[in-house]
A and B are shown apart, each in its own frame.
Chain A
Amino acid sequence: MNRFSIDSQALGNVSRRAILCGGLGLGAVAAAELLAGGAVLSATGPSKPGPLPATGSTADKGILGTGHFPARAKRVVSMHMMGAPSQVDTFEYKPMLWKMHGQEIPPSVKGDARISAMSNGQSAFPIMRPLREFRQYGQSGRWVSELMPYTAQIVDDLTFVHSLHTEHVNHDPAAIFLHTGFQLPGRPSAGAWVNYALGTDNDQLPSFVVLKSQIRGAGVAANANTWGAGFLPSHHQGVEFRGGAEPVLFVGNPDGMSREVRRGQLDLIAELSRAQYDRTGDPEILSKVSQYEMAYRMQESVPEATDISDEPDHVLALYGEDVHRPGSFARNCLLARRLIERGVKYVELIHVGWDDHARIAVGHPLECRATDQPSAALVADLKQRGLLSDTLVTWGGEFGRTSYAQGGINETSGRDHHGGNFTMWMAGGGLKPGIAYGQTDDFSYNIVDAPHSLHDLHATMLHLLGIDHTQLTFHYQGRDFRLTDVAGELIKPILA
Chain B
Amino acid sequence: METVYFLGRFHVLILHLPLGILFLAILLEVVGKFRPFLALCEAVPLLWGAGAISAIATVILGIMHATEPGFQDSPGVELHRWAGVALAAASSLVAILRLRAYLVKYGVRVPDRLASRGAPTSIALVGLLMVTTGHLGGNLTHGDSYLVEFAPGPLRYLIGIEDKYVRPKPKNFESADLYLDVVEPAIMDRCVLCHNDSKTSGGLSFVSYDKLMRGGKSGPIIVPGAPDKSDLVRRIELSDRHDDFMPKDGKTPLTDDEVASIRTWVAAGARASVPIAELKLEPKIEEILRRNLGFSNAGTAGGEQLGQSKSGDYDNLPIVSAAPPRALAALEAADFVARPIAQDSNLLDIEYTGIASVSPSQLDLLGDVAPQIFRLNLRNAGIDDRALARLGSMSNLRRLRLEGARVSDSGVRQLTMLKQLRYLNLTGTGVTDAGLAQLEALPNLREVYLWGSGVTEHGVQRLKHRRSDILVDRGAFNFIQVRY
A→B interface (CB under 8 Å) = 56-59, 61, 64-72, 149-150, 153, 200-204, 300, 314, 317-318, 341, 343, 369, 373, 376-377, 380-381, 383-386, 389-390, 430, 466, 489, 496
4 nearest A-B residue pairs (beta carbon):
A386-B449, A384-B475, A386-B425, A149-B482
- Bound Cα distance from A381 to B353, whole angstroms: 22
Choose among A70, A150, A385 the residue that contacts B341 (Cβ–Cβ < 8 A).
Answer: A70
B114 within 8 A of A: no
- Bound Cα distance from A358 to B477, whole angstroms: 37
- Bound Cα distance from A133 to B340, whole angstroms: 50
Measured between beta carbons, the chain A residues less than 8 angstroms from B447 are 386, 389
Chain A residue nearest to B311 (CB atoms) is A496
Choose among B311, B341, B351 the residue that contacts A430 (Cβ–Cβ < 8 A).
Answer: B311
B461-475 to A contact mask, C-beta < 8 Å, 1/0: 000000000000101
Instruction: Assess the A376–B353 pair: CB atoms within 8 A.
Output: no
Question: A71 to chain B: closest CB distance in Å?
Answer: 7
Question: B361 to chain A: closest CB distance in Å?
Answer: 15
Ordered by A's residue number, 23 sampled pairs between the chains whose C-beta atoms are within 8 Å are A57-B333, A57-B335, A57-B336, A57-B337, A57-B353, A59-B337, A64-B343, A65-B339, A66-B341, A66-B343, A70-B341, A71-B342, A200-B337, A201-B377, A202-B351, A204-B353, A318-B478, A384-B427, A385-B427, A386-B403, A386-B423, A386-B473, A496-B311
Choose among A69, A317, A381 the residue that contacts B342 (Cβ–Cβ < 8 A).
Answer: A69
Instruction: Assess the A389–B340 pair: CB atoms within 8 A.
Output: no
User: Which chain B residues (326-380) contact chain A, with CB distance < 8 Å?
Assistant: 332-337, 339-343, 345, 349, 351, 353-355, 377, 379
Known: A70-B317, A150-B482; 19 extra A-B contacts, CB below 8 A, are A65-B343, A66-B343, A67-B342, A71-B341, A72-B311, A150-B479, A201-B351, A201-B377, A202-B353, A203-B337, A204-B353, A204-B355, A341-B403, A383-B477, A384-B473, A384-B477, A386-B425, A389-B310, A466-B341
Q: Given A66-B343, A67-B342, A385-B403, A318–B337 Cβ distance below 8 Å?
A: no
Choose among B311, B317, B377, B477 the residue that contacts A381 (Cβ–Cβ < 8 A).
Answer: B477
Instruction: Assess the B342–A66 pair: CB atoms within 8 A.
Output: yes
Measured between beta carbons, the chain B residues less than 8 angstroms from A56 are 333
Question: B442 to chain A: closest CB distance in Å?
Answer: 16
- Bound Cα distance from A59 to B355, whole angstroms: 15
Instruction: Assess the A369–B484 pair: CB atoms within 8 A.
Output: yes
B319 within 8 A of A: no
Most buried by B among A61, A68, A69, A377: A69
Question: A438 to chain B: closest CB distance in Å?
Answer: 13
B480 within 8 A of A: yes
Chain A residue nearest to B449 (CB atoms) is A386
Measured between beta carbons, the chain B residues less than 8 angstroms from A58 are 332
Question: A346 to chain B: closest CB distance in Å?
Answer: 16
Chain A residue nearest to B428 (CB atoms) is A385
Chain B residue nearest to A58 (CB atoms) is B332
Q: Given A385-B427, A430-B311, A59–B353 Cβ distance below 8 Å?
A: yes
B232-243 to A contact mask, C-beta < 8 Å, 1/0: 000000010000
Instruction: Assess the A377–B479 pair: CB atoms within 8 A.
Output: yes
B401 within 8 A of A: yes
- Bound Cα distance from A57 to B351, whole angstroms: 11
Measured between beta carbons, the chain A residues less than 8 angstroms from B476 are 314, 384
Q: Given A70-B314, A150-B479, A369-B484, A61–B339 Cβ distance below 8 Å?
A: yes
Question: A118 to chain B: closest CB distance in Å?
Answer: 30
- Bound Cα distance from A489 to B482, whole angstroms: 40
- Bound Cα distance from A341 to B484, whole angstroms: 31
- Bound Cα distance from A466 to B341, whole angstroms: 9
Measured between beta carbons, the chain A residues less than 8 angstroms from B377 are 201, 343
Q: Given A57-B335, A72-B311, A150-B482, A466–B451 Cβ distance below 8 Å?
A: no
Chain B residue nearest to A204 (CB atoms) is B353
Question: B448 to chain A: closest CB distance in Å?
Answer: 8
Instruction: Assess the B473–A383 pair: CB atoms within 8 A.
Output: yes
Measured between beta carbons, the chain A residues less than 8 angstroms from B349 are 66
Measured between beta carbons, the chain A residues less than 8 angstroms from B317 are 70
Measured between beta carbons, the chain B residues less than 8 angstroms from A65 are 339-340, 343
Instruction: Assess the A386–B427 pair: CB atoms within 8 A.
Output: yes
Question: B389 to chain A: closest CB distance in Å?
Answer: 23
Choose among A70, A314, A343, A466 the residue that contacts B351 (Cβ–Cβ < 8 A).
Answer: A343
Measured between beta carbons, the chain A residues less than 8 angstroms from B451 are 384-386
Measured between beta carbons, the chain A residues less than 8 angstroms from B335 are 57
Question: B260 to chain A: closest CB distance in Å?
Answer: 11
Measured between beta carbons, the chain A residues less than 8 angstroms from B340 are 65-66
Question: A391 to chain B: closest CB distance in Å?
Answer: 12
Instruction: Assess the A385–B337 pair: CB atoms within 8 A.
Output: no
Chain B residue nearest to A365 (CB atoms) is B484
- Bound Cα distance from A318 to B342, whole angstroms: 36
Instruction: Assess the A318–B479 pair: CB atoms within 8 A.
Output: yes
Instruction: Assess the B479–A376 pair: CB atoms within 8 A.
Output: yes
Measured between beta carbons, the chain B residues less than 8 angstroms from A57 are 332-337, 353-354
Instruction: Assess the A153–B479 pair: CB atoms within 8 A.
Output: yes
